Amino acid sequence: MSELEASLPTSPLGTEHRRGSELEASLPTSPLGTEHRRGNATQVANAHLGTVELRIPSKPEWVAVARLTIAAIANRLPFSVEEIEDLKLAIAEACTNVIQSESGADSIEIVVETGSAELKIHVRDHGAIRIRQAVAAPLGGVPVEGGLGVFLIQALMDSVEQSANPESGNQLVMTKRVGS
């Protein structure tokens, strides 16, 4: 260790500040027990790692909270930066669909089931029943307005399911697998 590195202050946790390979070697391990580094993901059985629940007001200014939450959860798994961006865009579109539908929902419930190889995101609201389908574009053009959000979500995610029930409300379930 150089004289400069030895003189670095310690953090409140008592460990020295590190850079480069020393920092990489000190990274915490993922819930899978292997070091958590981008690009070194291996395919393993999709073990359930936990569930995160979030309820936000059905207002546009709260969509950013949903995006940040999904990004933080996905960052704990071996998703690439591009895949995390896809997840952020998909959750923003799902929340925006609820808000723009004017279904009367006061809040949006987001439940994220984390697995070692995928994220499953449930977006629910208890407003008026509706199912938004991606509308097919005439002659291969751009989908008509109103169906663009669902079309985009379907393009970004590995699977998308919608359901509507008078008791449980509207639900959109999106699944994204690591490395897809």
pLDDT confidence of 39, banded at 50, 70, 90? Answer: very low
**Taking a C-beta distance cutoff of 8 angstroms, is the pair 106, 57 a contact?**
yes
- Residue ranges per domain, the chain? 44-177
DSSP state of 118: E
Query: What pLDDT was estimated at residue 142?
Result: 52
Tokens of 108: 């949006």
In 116-148, which ranges are E strands? 118-125
pLDDT score recorded for residue 149: 85
Q: How far apart are CA 93 and CA 150, in angstroms?
A: 8
Highest CATH level, class, for 44-177: alpha beta
Predicted confidence (pLDDT) per residue in 22-35, tens digit = 434 444 444 444 43
Q: Given pLDDT bands bounded at 50, 70 and 90, which one contains residue 19?
A: very low
Sequence-ordered list of residues with C-beta below 8 angstroms from that of 121, at least 6 positions apart, any chain: 70, 87, 90, 91, 94, 110, 111, 112, 113, 173, 174, 175, 176
For residue 65, the one-letter residue type is V
